[in-house]
């Protein structure tokens, strides 16, 4: 683990415990089991969705991209502003925003799974 991961964990310790797991040459950062950030090549990328993405766009930040089959693929993780590394209160603000986006995504996915299960049950056991 590079020095960057412990640095980010320490930066966020006033907010919440953050764990890191290796993935695809970088690390996923987790709080309460949800991945809310990616650390790759000394850069931090935070989870975005339609609710918090405008804040990233307003600062001219860009999504994490990787090449796949000859084209760039963008993920819903956007570059964190550099200001967070000098201001712990800023880091907490952005981490909370990213974690909230991860939670919204998790809840939406769980709801979709429940709807799909209910549809399958209705097909298997049609009501008269």
CATH code of the domain containing 12: 3.30.1460.30
- All residue ranges of the chain with pLDDT < 50 are none
Dist CA 30 CA 36 (whole Å) = 6
Residue 24: its pLDDT value, please? 83
Structural domains counted in the chain: 1
Q: Please give the angle made by the CA atoms of 65, 71 and 74, to the nearest 5 degrees.
A: 25
Count of CB atoms situated within 10 Å of the CB of 44: 28
Range of the domain at 54: 4-124
CA distance 77 to 86: 21
pLDDT of residue 1: 52
Q: Rounded distance, CA 114 to CA 128, Å? A: 22
Residues contacting 37, CB < 8 A, separation 6+: 8, 28, 29, 44, 45, 46, 47, 77, 80, 95, 98
At 25-62, the pLDDT tens digits run: 899 999 999 999 999 999 999 999 999 999 999 999 99
């Amino acid at each position: 683990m590079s020095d960057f991961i412990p640095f980010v964990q320490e930066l966020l310790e006033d907010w919440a415990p953050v764990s890191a797991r290796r993935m695809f040459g970088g690390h996923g950062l987790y709080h309460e089991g949800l991945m809310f950030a990616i650390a790759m090549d000394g850069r931090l990328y935070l989870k975005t969705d339609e609710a918090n993405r405008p804040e990233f766009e307003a600062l001219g930040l860009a999504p994490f991209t990787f090449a796949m089959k000859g084209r760039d693929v963008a993920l819903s993780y956007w570059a964190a502003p550099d200001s967070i590394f000098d201001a712990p209160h800023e880091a907490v603000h952005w981490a909370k925003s990213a974690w909230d986006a991860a939670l919204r995504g998790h809840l939406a996915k769980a709801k979709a799974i429940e709807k799909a299960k209910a549809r399958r049950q209705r097909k298997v056991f049609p009501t008269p």
